[in-house]
Amino acid sequence: MFLRHKPSGDLVEIVALNELVDPFREKVTGRFHSGEELQDAEPFNKSDLIFPSGEDLPRCWVDPHYRDNQ
């Protein structure tokens, strides 16, 4: 799965999808998808990632209390 890195605008290939959907994890392992060489995997803050269309990540992926009343 590819997401966009908000600070740089580059695409990030998510390596561990289970980390992405776990609301208790603030970081996810991914690698920048730019250039011809495969980049090394590194941690990315979920708060710095959006879908390529510009939409934010679902709340249930980033907030462990998403079911609580507001």
Question: What is the per-residue pLDDT across 54-64, written as a single tens digit (0 to 9) for each?
Answer: 999 999 999 99
Domain membership of residue 19 as a residue range = 2-62
The pTM assigned to this predicted structure is 0.86
pLDDT at 36: 80
User: Number of structural domains, the chain?
Assistant: 1
Given a contact cutoff of 8 angstroms between Cβ atoms, the answer to whether 12 and 5 are in contact is: yes
The H or E element spanning position 49 is strand 49-50
The H or E element spanning position 61 is helix 59-62
Q: Would residue 9 count as lying in a domain?
A: yes
Q: Would residue 54 count as lying in a domain?
A: yes
Q: Would residue 33 count as lying in a domain?
A: yes
Q: What's the distance, Cα to Cα, between the start and end of the chain in Å?
A: 31
Decide: helix, strand or coil at residue 31.
strand
Q: Would residue 50 count as lying in a domain?
A: yes
> In order along the chain (70 residues), what is the average pLDDT of each group of 10 residues?
95 95 96 86 96 95 84
